Amino acid sequence: MEDTLLVKLRNAKFPPLIVSNKGHKWLETGHLWLYANDINCSLCNNLPAELKAYKSGELVDVYSEKAKYLGTGFYNDKSKIAVRILSSNRNERFEASFWQRRVSYALAYRLQIGLLTSNENTACRLIYGEADGFPGLTCDLFADVLSIEIFSLGMAKIWPLIQEILLNELKTVYKRKIRIVYEKSLGQLRAKEGLSEFAGPRYSSKYSLADERLETELKPVLIVENGIKMEVDFVHGQKTGYFLDQRDNRLYLQKLAKDKQVLECFTHTGSFALNAVAGGASSVLAVDISETALKQAEQNAKLNAENLDLTHLEFLQADVFQLLTALVEHKSGPDWNKARAKGPFNMILLDPPAFAKRKEVKQAAYKGYLQINYQAMRLLPRGGYLVTTSCSHFIPDADFFKMLQEAASKANVSLRLIARREQAADHPILLNMPETAYLKTYFLQIV
């Protein structure tokens, strides 16, 4: 190894990791992930022992083959994402003050966009991973509950410090006292980081974590979104307990829902359905295959009985794929007849769960989206509205748009684009990191 290269690497604050030319170019685009196959293993292996003391979950300095400093981040030799870059400022000191600044920036941004102190919205995403400078961390605020997911080893190690800073900042600056911090870090992403799954409380303002009475604090929490009351089961619900990313799109729906006969598919906890009611829809039929989800949706409806006219809101347990086909083909059956009686529908909402959670099932997911959108387009009259979404990371917006064009052609309809929308503003998107943009929501009209 050249002496000049070695001299520069000896000045590194943390063990220096050398990347290939390909990795160098990749990081210079501003992306924050360094993949394992972009490490120059040959040069790294030839470093003196004292320089290559790499430890998973700890910090490393990333350098080019010519010893140009590219950034500092969390290292993990068990993950395909070998380094998650925290900063490209070589003078940065990764002490408590560093994390204090990041927490302060994240919370100040939420305040700037009208959250944190709003009575109309008592829930928001406080930290959205890389977009807020916390790689692999999601933190949602539900009234006096913090619900978190951790999907990186480095973040798992540093979380106790971040939790302390976050709780103090919320209390002293925003006058919000947190009652419970609950972690629900489950699924394949944990395994890919070499982490075991974990679900359980991380903090209680009332009891120690070993106290059996803590169980009484883990009941669903009441939030307000767009002025609508919702109950969030942060322990048993999907992900952190509630999908905050559609908040702004639900509010936009209210503008279009007046006097519409709405069929909401994949209602989950009833959030879109209740926003349609709030917008003045003449009738709403909310459909989901899950009995548990429908019970929660019905409970959420009851919470709003004093403020919303729920006379024409109904729930139906059914398979959406089968239901749409049955309605289009005029099939008979108890469920189909009940749905048909609520029609004819001139607004259909499609908010399915992610069909493509892995790259390997992308083709099948595309077909699934195509099928439900095609059937919805066939069912809608001219002038009818289709609101359709996808939260699948592996179905990019270009593919989703192509699917909509294909479905429209197949259904022999013309579509007018009213709005093409993304995730709520508390899920900010980094332009140099497309992985932070995942939600596609289209408001369309048959013309």
Give the three-class secondary structure for 388.
Answer: strand
- Domain membership flag for residue 68: yes
- Is the confidence at residue 7, as pLDDT, over 90? no
- Is the confidence at residue 73, as pLDDT, over 80? yes
CB 185 within 8 A of CB 198: yes
pLDDT digits (tens, 9 = 90+) for 317-347: 999 999 999 999 988 888 888 899 898 999 9
- Domain membership flag for residue 41: yes
Q: Are residues 193 and 66 in the same domain?
A: no
Q: Are residues 249 and 295 in the same domain?
A: yes
Q: How high is the pLDDT of residue 74?
A: 98
- Kindly report the average pLDDT of the chain as a whole number: 95
Q: Are residues 256 and 134 in the same domain?
A: no
Q: What is the largest CA-CA distance in the chain?
A: 81
Q: What is the mean pLDDT of the segment spanning 374-402? A: 95
Q: Phi and psi for 66 in degrees, rounded to 5?
A: -105, 20
Q: How high is the pLDDT of residue 359?
A: 64
Q: How high is the pLDDT of residue 2?
A: 61
Among residues 197, 216, 235, the one where a domain terminates is 216
Give the three-class secondary structure for 333.
Answer: coil
- Domain membership flag for residue 116: yes
Domain housing 274: 245-446
pLDDT digits (tens, 9 = 90+) for 162-210: 999 999 999 999 999 999 999 999 998 899 999 999 999 999 999 999 9
Q: How high is the pLDDT of residue 362?
A: 81
Supply the CATH number for residue 113's domain. Answer: 3.30.750.80
Among residues 65, 87, 109, the one where a domain terminates is 87
pLDDT digits (tens, 9 = 90+) for 293-315: 999 999 999 999 999 999 999 99
- Domain membership flag for residue 232: no
Q: Are residues 184 and 268 in the same domain?
A: no
**Angle (CA) 264 225 127, round 5°:** 110
Q: How many alpha carbons fall within 13 Å on the CB side of residue 369?
A: 32
- Domain membership flag for residue 106: yes
- Is the confidence at residue 248, as pLDDT, over 90? yes
- Domain membership flag for residue 226: no
Provide the domain count of the chain: 3
How many C-beta atoms lie closer than 10 Å to residue 33's C-beta? 19
CB 148 within 8 A of CB 198: no
- Using CA atoms, how far residue 418 sits from 96, 310, 344, 377, 388, in Å, is 46, 27, 22, 15, 12
Q: Are residues 83 and 106 in the same domain?
A: no
pLDDT digits (tens, 9 = 90+) for 397-447: 999 999 999 999 999 999 999 999 999 999 999 999 999 999 999 999 999
Q: How high is the pLDDT of residue 415?
A: 97
Q: Are residues 77 and 6 in the same domain?
A: yes
**Cα–Cα distance between 53 and 77 in angstroms, integer?**
12
Q: Are residues 122 and 80 in the same domain?
A: no
Q: Are residues 103 and 83 in the same domain?
A: no
**Angle (CA) 154 158 164, round 5°:** 155
Among residues 59, 87, 115, the one where a domain terminates is 87
Q: How high is the pLDDT of residue 307?
A: 95
**Cα–Cα distance between 409 and 400 in angstroms, integer?**
14
